[in-house]
């Protein structure tokens, strides 16, 4: 099963999940937040986990883009029930150290 969230107009950019049959059976639902954030809660016999998949803006992106992303991400985590296990995965575009060679 594939769950996907993309830019509304151009159908470019986007983020998603590819689920195994077992994961698809545990899936409770999913919510596309933006072309950079998607959530999917999973239910198991004794617990519930919500996975948040993200694609963070790169360091060179405009400050408004970065701020909007992190504001949305904070709102997403605030809306997940406290009893849920929260799992954040994705591309956070992190850089370690000052060397910019790639």
The Cα–Cα gap between 35 and 26 comes to 24
Dist CA 64 CA 40 (whole Å): 26
Task: Note the pLDDT of residue 85.
Answer: 95
Check if the beta carbon of residue 46 is closer than 8 Å to that of residue 83: no
Return the biggest CA–CA distance within the chain: 47
pLDDT at 8: 65
Tens-digit pLDDT profile for residues 5-34:
766 666 567 888 889 999 999 999 999 998
Q: Mean per-residue pLDDT for 82-97?
A: 87
Are the C-beta atoms of 38 and 15 separated by less than 8 Å? yes
Q: For residue 21, which of 1, 48, 6 has the smallest C-alpha distance?
A: 1
pLDDT of residue 47: 87
At residue 87 the predicted structure's pLDDT band, cuts being 50, 70 and 90, is: very high
Is 87 in a helix, a strand, or coil?
strand
What does the pLDDT look like over 37-79, one tens digit per residue? 999 999 988 889 999 999 999 888 899 999 999 999 999 999 9
């Amino acid at each position: 099963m594939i769950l996907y969230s993309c830019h509304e107009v151009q159908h470019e950019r986007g983020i998603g999940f590819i689920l195994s049959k077992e994961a698809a059976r545990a899936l409770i639902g999913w919510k596309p937040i933006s072309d950079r954030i998607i959530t999917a809660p999973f239910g198991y016999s004794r617990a519930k986990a919500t996975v948040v998949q993200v694609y963070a803006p790169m360091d060179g992106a405009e400050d408004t883009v970065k701020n909007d992303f992190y504001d949305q991400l904070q709102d997403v985590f605030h809306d997940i029930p406290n009893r849920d296990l929260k799992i954040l995965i994705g591309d956070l575009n992190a850089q370690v150290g000052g060397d910019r060679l790639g």
